[in-house]
A and B are shown apart, each in its own frame.
Chain A
Amino acid sequence: MTKGSIRKGTPSQYLLALYCLYLLIPIYWLFTLALQSNSDIVEGFSIIPKNLTIDNFVEIWTNPVWYQGFLNSLTYVLINTIISVSLAIPAAYTFSRYQFLGDRQLFFWLLTNRMAPPAVFLLPFFQLYSAIGLFDTPLAVALAHCLFTIPLAVWILEGFMSSVSTELDEMARVDGHSFIFFFFRIFLPVNRSAIGVTIFFCFMFSWVELLLARTLTATNAKPIVVTMTRTISASGIDWGVLAAAGVVTIIPGIIVIWFVRKHLAQGFTLGRVS
């Protein structure tokens, strides 16, 4: 797997190249549509767009329905990530260091929450969050998304933390450090890449979700992905604006990926590679 083998090219490398092309072509098409006016899209098909315009993006950044939706999405994703990671850290530490009554069952139960089929749970969710007066707030969506981000965060962090030897805990105790000092100044810095990966996953799963976000919001907290599903106006769908909104929703993801790129692959295995 040295540089020489890249130049030579094995069948799997050709396939990799083809697959990257397959990934990029639909995204390329999204970008070209986003940069054309709707009438150009409908009337003239061309692989390389002729009249480029940024009107669709101007529409998104000037129309409050769109940019407010974008901000709403970011708000609940951030709240969710903060809650998930700060609660999952102590839980994952406990799971990785202590044995207690029902620990394995509890761990399994956490996982099952990620697997509930959403469609019918939507009505109880709506009733529950209406009853406690959180309906149509970013906090409601953030709390609802905790249902699958917290179990995931606990799982990933537990995987990473279990691979940190307990000798570290012992040494800190022998050196006379308090638990608080050990936890915040020694243990968490050792696990910082794990925390980075966890933040990425919480962000990702909260950002891509649509059903709960749509159910728990009406007008004030409506996320951009929901706005996208309602772009059909009297004159039909404005494909250009829809494509531009799609482009806008991809950007935060790309920024976040860039920061955790080195730890990405390991995070997907929930910290358990071998």
Chain B
Amino acid sequence: MFKIKDNRGWLGVLPVVLIVSFSGVVPLMAVVNYSVQDILDFNTRFFVGFQWYQETLQDSRFVEAFLRQIAFSLSVLSVEIPLGIVIARGMPRSGWLASLLLVLLAIPLLIPWNVVGTIWQLFARSDIGLLGVTLNQLGISYNYTANPVDAWLTVLAMDIWHWTSLVALLAFAGLSSVPTAYYQAAELDGASSWQVFRYIQLPRLRNVLIIAILLRLIDSFMIYTEPFVLTGGGPGNTTTFLSQYLATMAVGQFDLGPAAAFSVIYFLFTLLFCWIFYTSVTANHD
């Protein structure tokens, strides 16, 4: 699209820049400031250079949490993306049923994140939860507070419950953009369901899938509240992901310097993801 060249455009975006800078830049600068100092209390602090960065990268607990995080994010993506596409394909394109399903799918996205944790806690506990009690009565030993495998599966099930809808809604929007004539042509040619998907639907889904994958990657990379409420990172450290470990350092142990160095590294990783997101979204746009 043709855009008018005019630097007065800044006037239109200035209010947004000011208000976002206030909450975005000031705390970020404070964190960068902490990350190069040893803070004993608020009046006693020393400049330590990049020491905290080195220590963080060599810290075995950081590396473990990082690997756990990668494993979690990959598991989440490998289930939610295909499942979301299949769900979207099963949806009718219009009518009351489509509206009802859209509303139903959107519900988990609008539940406060700690309530999502609470819902799954109430659902999965082995004393009062429907899932926990039923599994144990069926003879399957299940206790997510004590068994690491159960804890992992429960956190994963919770994330699938919480976020698959996002992928499904995105894929639904992508599928809605396929003209009906394409399906009629495919039907005349006797195309199979797989061929319809592979050659008609998938190309149309490309853009929305880029958005879906990156949004899920970034959000799963920052997951905190839901597992915090459900498992508290346990049993042991088995469901402690990056944010959780960071919070323990910053709030629990008050290791501000190392925690700040950690979050700068963490932020740079997320920035990398953002950059991939931005370039792939805008590549087709221009």
Contacts and interface: CB of A to CB of B under 8 A. Distances in A.
Contacts of B271: 112, 115
Nearest to A129: B23
B6 A261 contact: no
B202 interface: no
Contact of B12 (A47, A90, A123, A264): A90
Interface residues of A, number: 102
Interface stretch (B43-51, B87-95, B145-153): B87-95
Contact of B1 (A103, A104, A162, A208): A162
Contacts of B172: 265
A228 B118 CA distance: 9
Given A101-B7, A150-B19, A20 B128 contact: no
B103 A261 contact: yes
B207 interface: yes
B67 interface: no
Interface string A22-41: 11111101100100000001
A172 interface: no
B7 A246 contact: no
A98 B9 CA distance: 6
Interface in B85-133: 86-87, 89-93, 95, 97, 99, 101-115, 118-120, 122-123, 127-131, 133
Nearest to B97: A6
Interface stretch (A51-59, A60-68, A140-148): A140-148
A74 interface: no
A63 B173 CA distance: 43
Contacts, number: 300
Interface in B23-71: 23-24, 26-28, 30-31, 34
Interface string A5-18: 01000111111110
Interface string A111-142: 11101111111111101100000000000000
Interface string A242-263: 1101100110011011100110
Interface centre among A42, A112, A274 (most CB of B within 10 A): A274
B8 interface: yes
Interface residues of B, number: 110
B128 A117 contact: no
B251 A119 contact: yes
A245 B108 CA distance: 16
A202 interface: no
B270 A116 contact: yes
Nearest to B94: A1
Of B95, B161, B164, the most chain A CB neighbours within 10 A belong to: B161
B208 to A, nearest CB: 5
B218 interface: yes
B74 interface: no
Contacts of A258: 103
A10 B17 CA distance: 49
Contacts of B242: 117
Contacts of B246: 117, 119-120
A98 B28 contact: no
A100 B104 contact: no
A117 B225 contact: no
Given A111-B278, A120-B263, A257-B107, A20 B270 contact: no
Given A115-B270, A273-B173, 18 more contacts: A1-B93, A10-B193, A29-B122, A30-B119, A45-B133, A91-B13, A115-B271, A117-B243, A120-B260, A120-B263, A121-B31, A121-B263, A208-B111, A246-B111, A254-B107, A261-B106, A265-B173, A274-B174
Interface of B: 1-13, 15-17, 19-20, 22-24, 26-28, 30-31, 34, 83, 86-87, 89-93, 95, 97, 99, 101-115, 118-120, 122-123, 127-131, 133, 161, 164-166, 169-170, 172-174, 176-177, 180, 183, 193, 204, 207-208, 211, 218, 222, 224-225, 229, 242-243, 246-247, 250-251, 256, 259-260, 262-263, 266-267, 270-271, 273-275, 277-278, 281-282, 285
13 contacts: A1-B183, A3-B95, A6-B97, A23-B108, A30-B122, A95-B9, A106-B13, A123-B256, A204-B110, A210-B113, A225-B114, A239-B122, A274-B177
